[in-house]
Structure 1
């Protein structure tokens, strides 16, 4: 696979794809550049034509992940329109769906220790993705009296924390952590409890 990418002039992407497989299998710190090169079908020296080191390679994987993530979040937000509640809930589900479908990207983005501020493009893409969730929170918070309304950034941070917790504890097969409920149900009910506390949905 890697050699085919290399011969077609796409060694950089072949290395990212190899890194994503290794990140998923071994974690972001569990592989070497030599392993990524071997999986891509090139020599270790070839890696340095495109990346300064392993962190640079992982950062590129995170950058690509945020681009996909931002598109998914925007699609989820638009799919819930014109209902602010439906749009907000859709963005929460999109977070979980992304983690399930793209575990390598998810780990590179959130578990590798790579700062989103290390690169302007990475920072821009990460900011764009989270701006969608904040936008959805802002729309929904308009239904709360101003004196009781949390800032959209706080609102979205709470949902991000809830979504991330469900993913980390129950959606990625963390050893020793099991729930009798599907992660989707945990996230939906958790968001429901939060929104009821703000008076945005009726009590069951």
Structure 2
């Protein structure tokens, strides 16, 4: 195999890209570091210039994914939403869109078993990304009387769990999990039911 002429910086990027390709094909435990090197067109020894092992490589992919995810969530939350309610709903849809458009990153972030505490950089990227949903929940929660207002961490965790469930069951093409409704409709109706329960949407709408 002819080796590609990588500079030091883009070798790391090529290895992460190869890792993501293999994650999509085989899952986070279905490939070796040597196979990731082969996917990037370099020798296995070259991988160790940047990564200590497969989990280290997957963690780097997860960090990159969280950075992209955070950008997508912030864009959905801040751009063009006419109300706190609309901004909150947009963040839920952004979660679904990211999972569909970037399955390799999504698996590395949420399904690889890699702890977000593995490195300070990974933790910072994950905290920033999920903090957008928490901020949206906090601002929307101000429309609920204080005695009935859930903590923003709980509020955002409920929507995160709902979004993640829709992705896992209905947006990933898993056999035996078909629904007559689109993932978007399932998520929108689920969020609507939750927000009605909090009194944020009129029951008749």
TM-score tier, shorter chain, comes to: over 0.9
Deviations 1:66-97 (A, max 9, x none): 00000000000002545100100000000000
CA distance in 2, matches of 1:90, 1:177: 25
- Give the C-alpha shift of residue 16 in structure 1: 0.4
TM-score (ref. length: structure 2): 0.96
Q: What does 1:8-27 correspond to in 2, within 5 Å?
A: 8-9=7-8, 10-27=10-27
- Residues 135-146 of structure 1 correspond to what in structure 2 (within 5 A)? 135-146=135-146
Unaligned runs of 5+ in 1: none
CA RMSD of aligned residues (A): 1.2
Compared CA separation, residues 42 and 139, structure 1 to 2 (3 A): same
CA distance in 1, matches of 2:60, 2:43: 20
Asked if 1:46 is matched to 2:39, the reply is no
Q: How many residues align?
A: 202
Cα distance in structure 1, aligned partners of 2:180 and 2:80: 29
- Higher helix proportion (structure 1 or 2): 1
Q: Which runs of 5+ in 2 are unaligned?
A: none
Query: After TM superposition, what 4+ stretches of structure 1 lie above 3 angstroms from structure 2?
Result: none
Answer yes or no: is the 8 Å Cα contact 1:87–1:136 preserved in 2.
yes
TM-score, normalised to structure 1's length? 0.96
Q: Which residue of 1 aligns with 2:100?
A: 100
In the TM superposition, what is the alpha-carbon distance from 1:45 to its structure 2 partner? Answer: 1.1
